[in-house]
Amino acid sequence: MAPAAPAVRVAPASAAAPVIEAEGLSKRYGTFVAVAGLDLRVAPGEVYGLLGPNGSGKTTTILMLLGLTEPSGGRVRVLGFDPAREPLEVKRRVGYLPDAVGFYDDLSARENLRYSARLMGLPRAEREGRIEAVLTRMGLAEVADKRVGAFSRGMRQRLGLAEVLLKAPQVAVLDEPTASLDPSSADEFLDLIRSLKAEGITVLLSSHLLHQVQAVCDRVGLFRAGRLELEGTVEALSQRVLGSAYHIEVEAHGEAVEAALRGVPGVLGVERRGAGRYRAAARTDLRPQLAAAVAGCGGALYGLQLEARSLDEVYAHHFGRAGRAAHPEEVGRGVA
């Protein structure tokens, strides 16, 4: 296999011992290379988003981290364990929500969790209390005794996360967790992901819903054709891919305003967007300097608004039309 080009890292990973660590990790199916020389480090308590077009290797990477498929090459450690050699150690500590959640349809939500709790080896005395707690946390207490076969996809998804929580994991790996959720359920799910982080749980999240990824992830990695091409914070990726991290909308009147805005150190460009409306691109939040520039040239300031560039813009710019065409539901979405 040809050596992979290293990903462009535009923000360093934390110096703390990584929870997830892959070096040169590869997976081949016959002659087809699904993952090519992946280097990845995820720090304790970090929420890391895996992004990329369909078939770019995200799920294959997750399966290797979980010991569910064996790497063809390279090295991987999760919480210090080798998932291929010590899969039980990894499974005990890592909660996994697959993109298609499998439960026994003839059993109720509570019965499914009882079954999972036995498999996890939870002490008998703790089981019922913990099951009740996770059902309540996931908003499933009222349907706990209904057959899962009658559950909507969103309810199954919630039950999937309930099962993850039941394990009290150190790491949660979530493959497209909000794909089948309506907007308000997706928002609740994002709050839950934030609460996992607040509890110190490391989260690895794969998703195509870029505004949601931007809303919860500390760093993201952009995959293409089995390679991690770019990784960093959304702000750092915006700088790198788009050339600026912020847009500042300025509403101001006065003949010299545009020139004054252009003259502010750090302004990368100014776009006129109608009478008295401008958009300045900048690396940092320059609102005070822009306000001072308007006042300094005798202009009248009516409004200033800071907008972070969206991951959607970064993704579209990096992957071009092909990447976007794979995920038409994202077209036109803004910052969450």
Ligand X SMILES: Nc1ncnc2c1ncn2[C@@H]1O[C@H](COP(=O)(O)OP(=O)(O)OP(=O)(O)O)[C@@H](O)[C@H]1O
Query: Which residues contact ligand X (rule: CB under 6 A)?
Result: 29, 32, 34, 52, 54-60
CB of 128 to ligand X, least distance (A): 36
Token duo for residue 225: 């054709």
Closer residue to ligand X, CB minimum distance, 30 or 183: 30
Q: Smaller CB distance to ligand X: residue 176 or 251?
A: 176
Q: How far is the CB of 99 from ligand X (least distance, A)?
A: 7
Sign of CA dihedral 304, 310, 314, 316: negative
Give whichever of 32 and 119 is closer to ligand X, judged by the CB atom.
32
CB-based burial label for 336 (10 Å; 0-12, 13-18, 19+): middle
Q: Which amino acid is at 64?
A: M
- Which lies closer to ligand X via its Cβ, residue 32 or residue 184? 32
| Cα(260)–Cα(97) distance, integer angstroms | 53
Nearest approach in angstroms of CB 280 to ligand X is 36
Q: DSSP letters of 167-217?
A: T--SEEEEESTTTT--HHHHHHHHHHHHHHHHTT-EEEEE-S-HHHHHHH-
Residue 36 CB, nearest approach to ligand X (Å): 11
Nearer to ligand X, 32 or 288 (CB): 32
CB of 140 to ligand X, least distance (A): 26
Contacts of 127 (CB under 8 A, 6+ apart): 114, 117, 118
